[in-house]
Amino acid sequence: MKVGFIGLGIMGKPMSINLVKAGYDVIVNTHNEKTMNELVELGAKKALTAKDVANYADVIITMVPNSPQVREVCLGRNGIIEGAHEGLTVIDMSSIDPVESKAIGEELAKVGIDFMDAPVSGGEPKAIDGTLSVMAGGKKETFDKYYDLLMHMASSVTYCGNLGSGNVAKLANQVIVAINIAAVSEALTLAKKLGADPEVVYKAIRGGLAGSTVLDAKAPMMINHNFKPGFRIDLHIKDLNNALNAAHAVNGYLPLTANLMEVMQSLKNEGFGVEDHSAIARFYERNAKISLEKEEE
């Protein structure tokens, strides 16, 4: 199977590396020539355009920032659509607006290209070790055909329904993750303000009902003030914006999400948008006039 991979950023690069390591014939394309060359050294081929990827591949994975980039890669000049051929499938693993997933899929279908949305959760660490969670939407037969391919990048691959359903699940995931990080920030800030050690409080509650993957992943980052991005605030803002837009389109109401969007925008305006979303803690630290950072002994 010849696999195309377009978009080699924080997530796409390790995901594509895992496919190369799994023995797939991989051809890559991204804006970063240095990154492409790194993949070539590992055994991949490189293409100058998305059209070139389409001409070569049986299936193409796209992993780009947002809806406009997916549309450009798929439907733009020198895009995938210009390299359409019988049997070609596109699996978009970006996190985008589900309405756009459907619209792009409809355009590709006109030239015989099958399209599936399959966004991921887990951030850079899980992209590196191949344990992402994948939420897929599209034709069930397409999902079944490429299940094994997706499992080389993930520990969980779930079929969610028709095209767009994967991104609906991802939006729900991102709402829960963002609000959970904010809750952890708020709780640990309260603990510190009341004179308790945030690290001790974290260890005390992690085995109870408050325990979660988010708590275990993000509390230590807050306590160590390690905000190296696994998933940047800027990207989470994009996801919450997509969630709010999708909700408003169906007269939905997301008050907690809307409030947290303002918190993230505040951090972005202060220059923290490039940091990990665990840096939401900075907002609470600033307003409480304390730091969660562990004091040196």
63-120 tens-digit pLDDT: 999 999 999 999 999 999 999 999 999 999 999 999 999 999 999 999 999 999 999 9
* CATH fold label, 168-288: N-(1-d-carboxylethyl)-l-norvaline Dehydrogenase; domain 2 (1.10.1040)
What's the confidence (pLDDT) of residue 295? 80
Tell me the three state secondary structure of residue 152: coil
Write down the catalytic residue from 13, 170, 192, 238: 170
CA 211, 214, 220, 223 dihedral sign is negative
Q: Residue 297: pLDDT above 80?
A: no
Domain boundaries of the chain, sorted by first residue = 2-161, 168-288
- Do 2-161 and 168-288 agree at the fold level? no
Q: Which pairs with CB-CB distance under 8 Å and at least 24 residues apart come from 292-296?
A: 292/188, 292/189, 292/192, 292/198, 292/222, 292/223, 292/225, 293/223, 293/224, 293/225, 294/198, 294/199, 294/223, 294/224
For 255, half-sphere exposure in the C-beta direction (CA atoms, 13 angstrom radius) is: 0
Q: Which CATH architecture fits 2-161?
A: 3-Layer(aba) Sandwich (3.40)
DSSP assignment, residue 210?
A: T
Measure Cα distances from 185 to 33, 113, 179, 193, 229 in Å: 38, 45, 10, 12, 17
For 178, half-sphere exposure in the C-beta direction (CA atoms, 13 angstrom radius) is: 28
What's the confidence (pLDDT) of residue 79? 98
How many residues does this entry show for the chain?
297
- Judge whether 170 counts as a catalytic residue: yes
Closest CA to 90 of 118, 66, 67: 118
Structure confidence by residue, pLDDT tens digits, 31-42: 999 999 999 999
pTM here is 0.89
pLDDT band of 243, cuts 50, 70, 90:
very high
- The Cα–Cα gap between 172 and 154 comes to 19
Average pLDDT in the chain: 96
Q: Give me the mean pLDDT over the 171-175 stretch.
A: 95
| Alpha helices by DSSP H, the chain | 12-21, 33-42, 50-56, 67-75, 98-109, 123-129, 140-151, 165-193, 198-205, 213-224, 233-249, 255-269, 280-288
Q: Residue 12: pLDDT above 90?
A: yes
